[in-house]
Chain A
Amino acid sequence: MNHALLVAKNLGRRKLRTSLMLVAILIAFFLFGCLECFNHAFYASENSAAADRLVSVNKINFTMPLPVSYVERIRQMPGVTHATSQSWFGGYYQDPREPLFMFATDPQGYLDVYPSIQMAPAQKQVWLSDRTALATGRVTAEKYHWKVGDHIPISSNIYSRSNGSHSWDFTVAAIYSAPDDPARESLVLMHQDYFDETVTFGRDQVNMVMFTTSSSKLNDSIAKAIDAAFANSPAETTTDTAAAFNRAFTAQLGNIALIISLVVATAFAAILLIVGNTMVMAVRERTREIGVLKTLGFTGRTICYQILAESLLLAVTGALLGLGAATLVLATTSKMLQGFVSGMQMVPSVFAAGLGWALVLGLVTGAVPAWSGLRLRIATALGRR
């Protein structure tokens, strides 16, 4: 026998009640794990944006096109090191309900602006040289079981070809990874030239121009210079950092982080009340036993620590089960969610934060009964007056 066993025995004296409390805590931390990992994956592109990367889009909004000539003009601006563009293709493979994140781009420029993209040199060579070739991120290739060399038809729900068809034939030339920028691993990239050649409208236009600067300190001045250069033109620009652009883009979907925080906070508040109230009741039921322990010589402080240990053990066990369940669920559903948000997996920072919150939950829910145990007078506990 030792103090730890005493704590465990006390916790296990009403198994149904303890199990229900564990389930309540498990659910809260399962929600926490899933939602925070979603949050993490959702904002991954924003977080991974390089400080020296900027984006120019049409000043009206980013769905309005810019002339493709802007790419070269921006590339020539002082302080700009590399520039490329992308145009939303509206592509899908077989099932129109599952759109691809597919863009037409200038391949070499794209690789220059996004150096985190890693592809085999031979594949890169084929992609750069073959206009009908496309490069696909690892995640999308795995989802559709594409292999290098596959010939695949991709349709567009926006554009049509001069022959009236909505379908384009591509050769998978490269499958790339981007460990530092996991959101990019879901993209499919085609040649801007091929796009311009074959579409019936929207030729020589791009949705946005992405470029890098020689120093992030120059970002503001270069952005102002670009916007000034295209001022009073039919397609005025607004230029910002890639991180700011990503933030503005995700903000259109609402403040996801706030919504997630509110859901998690509500779940935690409910669990706090349930577990706190149950702990108070559980300790109150043991008032007489606490009195006996004090009679035997246990100090108020020892009793206090034992009650805190009980609530901490309960909270940490529930949290580990909840976070473990979230890890399993994320691992099994991440592929299904790839089309919506990629890179959904349990991340160490979320797991660690969960355990941190479990400690807080344990301490808060145990505080009131522990204080009662500390202050309880033996004569009162034994019901002598």
Chain B
Amino acid sequence: MAAAFSFQLRHVSKRFVKGKETISVFDNLDLDIPAQDYVAVMGPSGSGKTTLLNVLGGIDHVTSGEVHFNGQRVDTLNESRLSQWRAANVGFIFQFYNLMPVLTAAQNVELPLLLTKLGRKERRRNVAVALDLVDLGDRSKHYPREMSGGQQQRVAIARAIVSDPKVLLCDEPTGDLDRTTADEVLAILALLNREHAKTVVIVTHDPEAASHAKRILHLNKGVFVERTSLS
């Protein structure tokens, strides 16, 4: 597999068993996401967008097929290896921020660094850089409840990038934000893609959010029905 690709999915199928019923989310799906790409995945509810994101992030196992990341097959890794791989390579951004309410902004951002061998000073420096990047350097000691939704999402972005992952997987990152705040968040994602060489995959219902991507994949019933290139 060529290392120019961040992700390559080959003949991937994903099925859930619910009682006696087997639900197929997607079947024999192929997808290439090159390094430094910015992809938006759109589609109606139940189309498999989030499951696709889960598969890319190693949160869900595929039923069959192969998932490669930078030439390395990741769908066969055990839970422990998968955790290590996620910590090193993938940053997640969620719709509802998912910050720890008992931790300050800086402590939330520092969480992924607890899994590294970095010393305390180095961790603090990285946290400061990440918070500055999302323009929240002055809110480091604030708790999530003391911040607006947009600020919390920016803290979540700082947490996602603090360990310098190659890929950012974003699940409806602007779904809970007003237009202005959403645009600020999308601008940060674009900046991270453009100037920091991050591969960004964003799942969204919002055409405006998707328009920031380089290309849009339309998913319906587990099949890519349309691929739009914006660049």
Contact = CB atoms under 8 A, between A and B. Distances in A.
A340 B100 CA distance: 55
A299 B80 contact: yes
Interface in B79-126: 79-80, 83-84, 86-88, 92, 94, 98, 100-103, 106-107, 110-112, 114-115, 123
A378 B83 CA distance: 11
Interface string A363-385: 00000000000000011001011
A1 B98 contact: no
B112 A296 contact: yes
Given A299-B79, A299-B83, A385-B16, A293 B102 contact: no
Interface stretch (A5-13, A164-172, A191-199): A5-13
Contacts of B59: 295, 378-379, 382
Contacts of A10: 102
B102 A13 contact: yes
A379 B110 contact: no
B128 to A, nearest CB: 13
Q: Interface size bucket, A side? A: 20 to 34
Interface string A1-29: 11101100110110000000000000000
A297 B84 contact: yes
Interface residues of B, number: 30
Contacts of B51: 384-385
Nearest to A374: B79
B47 interface: no
A384 B45 CA distance: 12
B115 A298 contact: yes
Nearest to B92: A295
B60 A296 contact: no
Contacts of B111: 1, 293, 296
Contacts of B92: 292, 295-296
B50 interface: yes
A289 interface: yes
B98 A289 contact: yes
Given A294-B83, A298-B115, A384-B50, A12 B57 contact: no
A292 to B, nearest CB: 5
Interface string B52-76: 0010010110000000000000000
Contact of B102 (A9, A296, A385): A9
Nearest to A378: B59
A300 interface: yes
Q: Which 10 residue pairs across A and B have the least CB separation, nearest first?
A: A297-B87, A9-B102, A378-B59, A292-B98, A299-B83, A13-B102, A1-B110, A296-B112, A1-B107, A297-B86
